[in-house]
Chain A
């Protein structure tokens, strides 16, 4: 470019942009979503879980069969246009049963995670925030709960309340919220000393306000990750119980009961056991991938 004298004119103040911010304004979640999208495995997991959820909801529309309807003439059918995944030993449609099973497995997984989340946040939040002796006492209670094996609770509760979804849920939740409570407590303990929460204290904010508006909101990243990881473990517990025969009772189907039924004849009809097991594996894998992806994308240090 040619230099000319009129280029040497003084700039007015409004021609400078001194408080200009170049980065785009994005909220925390927008930012996290952008990073999450880049993780292909996590994205694949999300797609799979979404399909499972949609399938579980819309299965009555998708197929004309019901989960307990038997077609005795058509037992042990291989996958075909009529029965997409084939039929089992009573001639029940496996496709339909898989997605009815998904209803049970996924709702147990998500409900358990949700209940854990609620109890864990309140319990861990209070324990970490109040601190001192209250914290000491609350954490010892947690330690005691944690020291008894989870399966023992579940089996005891199933014996008392019978084999149904509620008792499985109670059994899973009674001990597994402990992990969430511990996580929230650690988060709250460290955030409590951060200057923004001290600032809120100096302003005269109430304890509830500080706890929920400042501390919990900022622990949301690790909390979400831990919730995502909790879903597969609940699903697994349910599948395990049903597999050993003390879970959901027949004719309701869950992936565990289906695997259990197919197990007896797996040498003759291996395809029947592959469906439920593949579903369990893929769901667990997907949720774990999602959890990992969320862990990376919600970590404030990755900014």
Chain B
């Protein structure tokens, strides 16, 4: 059974310059106890997808189409009238922090600077579980222990600015875990951290995922992080999912030219060769005016006329591996021969 299912999600933002089509019809699911990686560049729509799922879009953003199911329960925010919107907001408030938790990129903007750390940890417990203050405090202290904060008793009454970056990120994780969520969405959880601290945090997320059997969605641009954490990977580009597969399928048998390009332009420090990196030329498409066809067409070395005019259908390579690229069409293969 899948814990989260997204069908044909479309999210737009209205700006001064026009409508930015951030997410353009994507579908995927998250299975139980799996770590799903969503990889993409800034502007590929990976964070917007998750904010749409959580119902936390900025004021100028709107989910215009698509269905979202959490454990078969419909939580789609599109096409709602006023009354339905109210029930939706209520429903999401119950889910957020309780069944679905989110770990943000920047711990400092997420934590309230004038509230003590302990208070912020107790808040979700008090809201969702309606237990006594004493019990909540005990649970908060346990959580601080779990995420590896030394001497939680004295740290409990400190303020966020007294914590270092890595410690703050641990607090965020502790808050996320407060109500035993079934799904943890981590949006670039280690981007702001140093590598040695990143190693600590990744280890922690892995341990918690294994102990509690939650599902995790890791949104990141760091292929190294994806390789060490994820079971399954979605590659997003220009608001679309261009390839989807298990970690080994994506890294060892990539099919989409973008995935191939992405892997070629990161340097694997373990290789001895000093050969030049192979960059992908150009810049990502502007989603104010996205291409009709494949979003990668302007940067793809194999681009064909058809790529400019139509978005390719998906091609399946295995139960788990699929890719959207015209190169897999039989005509393309004939043209090559």
Partners in one complex: yes
Residues from chain A with Cβ under 8 Å of B150 in the complex: none
Query: Which one, A4-12, A144-152, A192-200, A201-209, is touching chain B?
Result: A4-12
Partner of B335 from A8, A15, A19 at Cβ < 8 Å:
A8
Residue of B nearest to A24 (CB): B17
Give min CB distance, A200 to chain B, whole Å. 26
Chain A 252-284 residues near chain B, CB threshold 8 A = none
Q: Is B299 an interface residue when CB atoms closer than 8 A count as contact?
A: yes
Q: Size band of the A side of the interface?
A: 20 to 34
> CA–CA, A66 to B286, complex, Å?
62
**Does A11 contact B282, Cβ atoms closer than 8 Å?**
no
A3-B306, A8-B306, A11-B308 known; A18+B281 contact, CB < 8 A: yes
**Does B298 contact A1, Cβ atoms closer than 8 Å?**
no
Partner of A22 from B282, B289, B299, B303 at Cβ < 8 Å:
B289
**Does B331 contact A7, Cβ atoms closer than 8 Å?**
yes
Q: Is A23 an interface residue when CB atoms closer than 8 A count as contact?
A: yes
> CA–CA, A9 to B308, complex, Å?
11
> CA–CA, A294 to B30, complex, Å?
47
Q: Is B304 an interface residue when CB atoms closer than 8 A count as contact?
A: yes
Interface string of A1-37 (1 = CB under 8 A from B): 1010111111100011111111110000001001100
Interface string of B300-322 (1 = CB under 8 A from A): 00111111111000000000000
**Does B282 contact A19, Cβ atoms closer than 8 Å?**
yes
Q: Is B16 an interface residue when CB atoms closer than 8 A count as contact?
A: yes
Q: Is B297 an interface residue when CB atoms closer than 8 A count as contact?
A: yes
Give min CB distance, A3 to chain B, whole Å. 7
Residue of B nearest to A9 (CB): B305
**Does B303 contact A16, Cβ atoms closer than 8 Å?**
yes
Partner of B305 from A8, A21, A31 at Cβ < 8 Å:
A8
Give min CB distance, B87 to chain A, whole Å. 33
Q: Is B329 an interface residue when CB atoms closer than 8 A count as contact?
A: yes
**Does B288 contact A22, Cβ atoms closer than 8 Å?**
yes
Q: Is B237 an interface residue when CB atoms closer than 8 A count as contact?
A: no
Give min CB distance, B30 to chain A, whole Å. 33
**Does B326 contact A8, Cβ atoms closer than 8 Å?**
yes
**Does B299 contact A7, Cβ atoms closer than 8 Å?**
no
The interface centre, meaning the residue of A21, A22, A35 with most chain B CB atoms within 10 A of its CB, is: A22
A1-B309, A20-B298, A23-B17 known; A9+B304 contact, CB < 8 A: yes
> CA–CA, A181 to B205, complex, Å?
50
Give min CB distance, A220 to chain B, whole Å. 19
Q: Is B334 an interface residue when CB atoms closer than 8 A count as contact?
A: yes
Residues from chain B with Cβ under 8 Å of A3 in the complex: 306, 329, 331
A22-B289, A24-B17 known; A7+B304 contact, CB < 8 A: yes
> CA–CA, A34 to B15, complex, Å?
12
Partner of A10 from B282, B286, B304 at Cβ < 8 Å:
B304
A5-B335, A11-B308 known; A19+B283 contact, CB < 8 A: yes
Q: Is B332 an interface residue when CB atoms closer than 8 A count as contact?
A: yes
> CA–CA, A7 to B307, complex, Å?
9
Interface string of B184-197 (1 = CB under 8 A from A): 00000000000000
Give min CB distance, A43 to chain B, whole Å. 17
Give min CB distance, B80 to chain A, whole Å. 27
A19-B282, A22-B286 known; A10+B331 contact, CB < 8 A: no
**Does A11 contact B17, Cβ atoms closer than 8 Å?**
no
**Does A21 contact B286, Cβ atoms closer than 8 Å?**
yes
Interface string of B277-289 (1 = CB under 8 A from A): 0000111001011
Residues from chain A with Cβ under 8 Å of B16 in the complex: 31, 34-35, 303
Residues from chain A with Cβ under 8 Å of B282 in the complex: 16, 18-19
Residues from chain B with Cβ under 8 Å of A18 in the complex: 281-283, 298-299
Residue of A nearest to B299 (CB): A18
Residues from chain A with Cβ under 8 Å of B302 in the complex: 10
Residues from chain A with Cβ under 8 Å of B298 in the complex: 16-18, 20
**Does B297 contact A16, Cβ atoms closer than 8 Å?**
yes
**Does A8 contact B332, Cβ atoms closer than 8 Å?**
yes
Give min CB distance, B313 to chain A, whole Å. 11
The 3 closest A-B pairs by CB, nearest first: A18-B282, A7-B306, A22-B286
Given contacts A3-B331, A7-B306, A15-B308, 7 further A-B contacts (CB under 8 A): A1-B309, A1-B310, A5-B334, A7-B309, A8-B334, A11-B304, A18-B281
Name B's A-contacting residues (CB within 8 A): 16-17, 281-283, 286, 288-289, 297-299, 302-310, 326, 329, 331-332, 334-335
Cross-chain pairs A/B with CB under 8 angstroms, 5 sampled: A3-B329, A8-B332, A10-B304, A11-B304, A18-B283
